[in-house]
Amino acid sequence: MYRSVNEDTAGLLELEAARSTFERLGAVPDLRAVEAELENRGVGRRARTGARVTKTFMFTDIVTSTDLLEAMGDHAWEELIGWHDATLRTIFARHGGEEVSHTGDGFFIAFAEARAGVDAAVDIQRALVAHRREHGFAPWLRIGLHQAEVSRVKDNYRGVGVHVAARIAALADRDQIVISAATLQAAGPLPYPASTPRSAPLKGIKESVEISTLTWQ
């Protein structure tokens, strides 16, 4: 019996939805099974998700942003966010960073090289310290870095590696830069020391990831 066009389309949509779910959860075996089924149906990876690229991803986040907003009030908060956004965007541009998205109190940035991402992260933290010293206050940021091969879809990136980068950033404390060990190695010799790599479980990701913390001060 031949499948109707509608049935085949529905099946592909269900597989695509499953692929996205497994990708988000880091369920690698299940993801591979779905990928194999899509390949069997003649839907190639490139046609489905776009070009595969390797990038270094950075996630930034203002620590205790809700508390700051409540303490400062809307007007002062908007002024702070305006300064924060302009400062970080200047640094991203200096290091060739591509702004993927802006969440209100954080950024998702892609860099072509690991070293560029590391240097940008250090410059951000140092700029905040300098502003704190000269003007009395600057927000505290946590930053996470991870290099991975993912799919580029129009102006966005999709894949397990993106979720790993976001989870690594969530592990950082204020003023910290946390980086995956593989990304640290890809960056080459650095003028800033890093902690001994440690294994860290990441929420929603099945396999633990080796991470380090940079000493940038």
Task: Give the Å distances, CA to CA, from 191 to 34, 63, 119, 120, 214.
Answer: 43, 26, 10, 13, 10
Q: Are residues 37 and 110 both part of a single domain?
A: no
Question: Residue 23 — pLDDT band, cuts 50, 70, 90?
Answer: low
Q: Are residues 74 and 44 both part of a single domain?
A: no
Percent helix / strand / coil, the chain, rounded to 5:
50, 25, 25
Q: Are residues 128 and 207 both part of a single domain?
A: yes
CATH of the domain at 83: 3.30.70.1230
Burial tier of 188 (Cβ tally within 10 Å: 0-12, 13-18, 19+)? exposed
Q: Are residues 44 and 57 both part of a single domain?
A: no
Q: Are residues 169 and 209 both part of a single domain?
A: yes
Q: Are residues 114 and 177 both part of a single domain?
A: yes
> What is the domain count for the chain?
2
Q: How many CA atoms lie within 13 A of 35 on its CB side?
A: 12
pLDDT tops 60 at residue 111 = yes
Q: Are residues 204 and 108 both part of a single domain?
A: yes
The confidence score (pLDDT) of residue 7 equals: 46
* Domain range enclosing 159: 52-213
Q: Are residues 9 and 80 both part of a single domain?
A: no
The confidence score (pLDDT) of residue 1 equals: 36
pLDDT tens digits for 163-197? 999 999 999 999 999 999 999 999 999 999 999 99
pLDDT tops 70 at residue 30 = yes
Q: Are residues 57 and 26 both part of a single domain?
A: no
Q: Tell me the whole-structure pTM to 2 decimals.
A: 0.76
The confidence score (pLDDT) of residue 5 equals: 36
How many CB atoms within 10 Å of residue 89?
Answer: 15
Q: Are residues 69 and 166 both part of a single domain?
A: yes
